[in-house]
């Protein structure tokens, strides 16, 4: 899904990303929250506390909550065509 970063919380035990996505059916904005690994794991992969800022456009591949709420575990995060989390894509999802 594609969206706009609202907040990026660089913290332990898990980093959180909040982003808004336009619902295809209603056109309303839906605020998602996604979880990444720890700051140590993210730092080892090159992610920093400054990697995402409010207003950044991102593409996210994630495993959504079973409860049907807009919560997920992020498996891939792409900003400006650069993979920040996950494997390099053949195409942006």
Burial annotation 42-63 (CB, 10 A radius, 16+ → b, else e)? beeeebeeebbeeebebbbbbe
Confidence class for position 53, pLDDT limits 50, 70, 90 = very high
**In this structure, how many other beta carbons lie within 10 angstroms of the beta carbon of residue 18?**
18
For the chain, the average pLDDT equals: 91
Instruction: Tell me the fold of 2-84.
Output: OB fold (Dihydrolipoamide Acetyltransferase, E2P) (2.40.50)
Length of the chain: 93
CA atoms within 13 A on the CB side of 57: 5
- The answer, as to whether pTM is greater than 0.85, is yes
Q: Using omega within 30 degrees of 0 as the cis cutoff, is the peptide bond preceding 13 cis? A: yes
Q: Is the pLDDT of residue 27 over 70?
A: yes
Instruction: List phi, psi (to 5°) of 88.
Output: -60, 130
More confident residue, 23 or 34: 34
- Average pLDDT on 18-30 reads 93
């Amino acid at each position: 899904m594609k969206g706009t970063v609202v907040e990026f919380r660089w913290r332990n035990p898990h980093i959180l990303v909040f982003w808004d996505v336009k619902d295809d059916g209603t056109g309303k904005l839906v605020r998602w929250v996604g979880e990444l690994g720890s700051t140590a794991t993210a730092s080892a992969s090159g992610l920093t506390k400054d990697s995402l800022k409010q207003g950044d456009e991102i593409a996210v591949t994630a495993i959504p909550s079973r409860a049907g709420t807009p919560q997920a575990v992020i498996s891939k995060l792409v900003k400006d065509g650069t993979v920040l989390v996950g494997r390099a894509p053949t195409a942006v999802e």
